[in-house]
Structures are given as structure tokens and as C-alpha cells.
């Protein structure tokens, strides 16, 4: 049995909403680097059973790929508390994937949300300070 979940437009929102920490691999069958990354991703999923590891087949789910502006595959995205905290194209080696997961686990999400709110406030205010 696979440790990863196939994400579709039908289950994507529920998966991200119902789980605090979701990793998403955007991939396609024809993509060589995607196929090379797949066993690394699967191994990380087995090593981190408390996290949700999802896969989006960009050929079968073009709306999801478009919604996240996926330009190249594979692209790894990490969503914590419904906030995308990491997104990077390219097949990560095992050590790099482990490191990224560790860094994402350590994030203070209250601080992340505060930074996002500050950035949005600056954008809405035209970037003018007080």
C-alpha cells in the first residue's frame, strides 16, 4: 500500500483543510525527473507517517496545476495550516527533502501568519510606511 494520497480537484480542499501538514508532489507520468523523485518521496512518506503526502498528476488534474501556477514538474509544495510555506520545482535528493520537512516542522505558524498579514497590509497600503 502506498503511503501517499492521490489528490484530485474533488479531494484537494478537504485534504488541505482537514490536515495540519500536507506535502504535495506535482508530477506527470511522462516526466523523467518525476519518476526519479517518486521513490524518494514515497520513502519520506513512510518515514513521516504523521504527515500527509499527496500527489497531483498534472495531466489528470490540470485545474489544480493551473491554480497553483505550476510551471515545471516535479514541484514540491508544503502546506501547513492551509498556508503554502514552501514551493520549489525540481527533484530533491533524499537528504534535501528530509531537511525541508524538518524546517517546515519547526516553523512557528503564528509568526508565519503574522508575516503574511504584514505583507498583505503593505501591499494594500501601497507599500507606504507610517
Q: Which sequence positions are flagged as catalytic?
A: 31, 34
Please write down the long-range contacts of 110-117, taking CB distance under 8 Å and 24 or more positions apart: 112/80, 112/83, 112/85, 113/81, 113/83, 116/83
Distances from the Cα of 22 to the Cα of 51, 58, 75, angstroms: 6, 17, 14
What are 59's three cell numbers? 495531466
Rounded distance, CA 51 to CA 53, Å?
6
Rounded distance, CA 98 to CA 111, Å?
23
3-state secondary structure of 24: strand
Amino acid at each position: 500500500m502506498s503511503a501517499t494520497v492521490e489528490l484530485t480537484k474533488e479531494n484537494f480542499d478537504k485534504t488541505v483543510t482537514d490536515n495540519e501538514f500536507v506535502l504535495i508532489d506535482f508530477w506527470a507520468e511522462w516526466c523523467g525527473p518525476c519518476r526519479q523523485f517518486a521513490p524518494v518521496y514515497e520513502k519520506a512518506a513512510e518515514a513521516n507517517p504523521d504527515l500527509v503526502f499527496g500527489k497531483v498528476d498534472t495531466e489528470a488534474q490540470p485545474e489544480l496545476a493551473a491554480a497553483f501556477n505550476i510551471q515545471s514538474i516535479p514541484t514540491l509544495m508544503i502546506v501547513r495550516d492551509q498556508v503554502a510555506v514552501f514551493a520549489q520545482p525540481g527533484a530533491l535528493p533524499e537528504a534535501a527533502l528530509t531537511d525541508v520537512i524538518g524546517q517546515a516542522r519547526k516553523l512557528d505558524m503564528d509568526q508565519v501568519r503574522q508575516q503574511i498579514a504584514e505583507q498583505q497590509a503593505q501591499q494594500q497600503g501601497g507599500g507606504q510606511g507610517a
